[in-house]
Amino acid sequence: MFKKLQQIGKAFMLPIAMLPAAGLLLGIGGAFSSSATIAAYPFLNIGWLQTIFKVMNAAGSIVFSNLSLLLCVGLCIGLAKKDKGVAALAGVVGYLVMTGTTSAILAIANPKGNAIDTGVIGALVMGLIAVNLHNKYHDIQLPDVLGFFGGSRFVPIITVVCAIFVGAAFYIVWPPIQQLLLAAGHAISSAGVIGTFFYGFLMRLCGAVGLHHMIYPMFWYTELGGVEKVAGKEVVGAQKIFFAQLADPHHTGLFTSGTKYFAGRFATMMFGLPAAALAMYHSVDKSKRKKYAGLFLGVALTSFITGITEPLEYMFLFVSPVLYVVHSFYDGLSFLVADLLKIRIGNTFSGGFIDFFLFGIMQGNAKTNWLLVLPVGAAWACLYYFTFRFAIAKFNIATPGRGGDDIVVNEPTPKENKNTELEENAVKIIEYLGGADNIEDVDACATRLRVGVKDSKKVQKDKFKTLGAIGVLEVDNGIQAIFGAKAILYKTVILDLLGMDD
């Protein structure tokens, strides 16, 4: 079950990875085409320029309005063993038939009833059904008279049949579930800042094993994140509400309180963790600091600019899990403080400066209270710096440069040798994984090479650091090696070497 949850979270990363681009379009387009912005900056009121901004706004909006369908497709692509295109088609058809069935039954049985929006839950259920049917029946052989419908053609057909029953089932079971979700959302809301704290704390804690992707979508895209009317339409989910308000030119005042599921990220990712990197750098003996300066600067900038924190977090997670728990506690506290101060900044993917600039600064302090992030961030930088300096010195934690000299700081290589280096390292990775016969599947996210193995005892985890891995995590016969941006490159090369399908 744990391994399956990991795979689901990993599959969601494909469509979620598109959101920054869609968010950029919506953020820039919505910000510069709103009547308030035009009134404040009349020089923007140029016909062709406003056309560009409105097109950008529409292009970004359409992605978020079809997010459930995209999640369903991403799930099918990520979990399909072969013929991923067929699995994606089955997912699309299945999701459309499921929602169409639910709507048709609702229109017949209760024409005046509220619409049923299963959101990410419907995407998850239909996506899992479609991809499991695909993996089971993509090579099915039917009798000769029905031979044309065999193989991969059978998958969309059987998916449609199942989708009708799933749609009917959702008509029956979803309204009470919807009420339970609303009650749960109200419970979190009634818990006040304590509920916000536990959201941030648990999400960061689960990030250690890559399961945070199973938590935040429930708040971003379902009733748990709130239900509000925006521009006359009912919108469900914290992120959907935020972007609906962003696209609404008539919205005034602070953005929705649902941004409490985003706003706490900025103090940690832009200030806290970079300060932790500085503390780790200052903990290195002065004679060796030059060697490690690039490493710490790189992970700190990655966290600050993009909000991708794994390369930095995995520098101390494995050598001091307790310190990671403290970090998770501080992150939950950051969400609590942001909620208390009514900081209302949303984001597309993470809490780096790009999202902070677009959805905080660009939207104005009157809507976001973004100025408050600066003093909170300064306090968080001090909190992280002194906590890490104290803990590293007091408990002799082996962060890079302190008993961690087996971590290789890769020097720049000539351009013509890059591919050769990747292939040579990929061959070694296969060897350290116990050989080709021990490998079941290979995948990667933003920073981790994820490999399913038959026997984890054959894996030589310690040797991965000689190739530049920051750390290696073993989870339920699965190996996660933290290679940073090279993870996706190693995945491609290893799949080619093994002759496996992507």
The helix (run of H) or strand (run of E) holding residue 452 is strand 448-453
CA atoms within 13 A on the CB side of 442: 25
- CA 132 vs CA 60, 179, 195, 324: distances in Å: 31, 29, 36, 36
Listed in order, strand segments (DSSP E) in 127-181 are none
The identity of residue 345, as a single letter, is I
Q: What is the DSSP letter of 235?
A: E
Residue 445 annotated in active site? yes
- What size, in residues, is the chain? 502
Tokens of 462: 């310690």
Residues 6+ apart with CB under 8 A from 2: 475, 476
Residues 6+ apart with CB under 8 A from 40: none
Question: Could you tell me the two tokens for 46?
Answer: 């140029």
Partners of 472 in the β-ladder: 481
Contact residues for 301 (Cβ-Cβ < 8 A; gap 6+): 274
Distance of CA 474 to the CA centre of its chain: 21
203/194 Cα distance (integer angstroms): 14
Q: CA of 432: how far to CAs of 18, 37, 245, 261, 424, in Å?
A: 33, 56, 50, 40, 13
User: Alpha-carbon distance 85 to 501, whole Å?
Assistant: 12
Catalytic-role residue among 72, 76, 162, 445 = 445
CA 24-8-138 angle, to 5 degrees, is: 110
Catalytic residues: 445
